[in-house]
Structure 1
Amino acid sequence: MTSRSEATGTTPLPQSIDLRTAENDLQKLRGRLRTVAEFIHDPAHDFAARHALAQRLDLPVPTPAPAARQTTEATR
């Protein structure tokens, strides 16, 4: 009788292929979420848009920049 590892040889089982595909998809989604979170917390972008996006995605909302910083950024 042949053992299971000998029977499959180097061919991955269908479940392991599905698991690898799911892990790759999850990695892509985490990268996209990281990109969105960076955008939401980047004060270079419009605060209202960042705030609305965070609320829409149920993510922590950004805090407004201090008034002194806003005027400094506005003069650039």
Structure 2
Amino acid sequence: MTSRSEATDTTPLPQSTALRAAENDLQKLRGRLRTVADFIHDPAHDFAARHALALRLGLPVPTPAPAARKTKEATR
């Protein structure tokens, strides 16, 4: 059994502090990855650059716009 003072102690354990720091770092990295993925799949940027970046980072590569869609937009 634990004593009452041990059960109500709110001092964080060293492991929980390290875990919280690691979770914060992971959250930041996920946010950066989301930003990069948004860039890679944004057709406003150069396709070759987006494709090369995706390959370099090991992320899914963007797909080029279908030729039919390009032709359809050009005729409007």
Match of 2:31 in 1: 31
Percentage of matched positions with identical amino acids: 88
Listed one character per residue, the Cα deviations across residues 14-67 of structure 1 (whole Å, up to 9, x for unaligned) are 100000000000011111111111100000000000000000001110001123
Matched position secondary structure for 2:36 = helix
CA distance in 1 between counterparts of 2:26 and 2:37 reads: 16
Q: Kindly report the root-mean-square deviation, in angstroms, between the aligned alpha carbons of the 2 structures.
A: 2.8
Match of 1:18 in 2: 18
Aligned pairs for 1:24-63 within 5 A = 24-63=24-63
Deviates more, 1:9-18 or 1:59-68: 59-68
Distance 1:18 1:37, change over 3 A: same
When normalised by structure 1's length, the TM-score is 0.80
Runs of 4+ in 1 over 4 A off after TM superposition: 68-74
Matched position secondary structure for 2:60 = coil
The offset of 1:72, in angstroms, is 7.8
When normalised by structure 2's length, the TM-score is 0.80
CA distance in 2 between counterparts of 1:23 and 1:52 reads: 30
Question: Matched residue pairs, number?
Answer: 74
Matched position secondary structure for 2:64 = coil
Amino acid at match of 2:55: Q
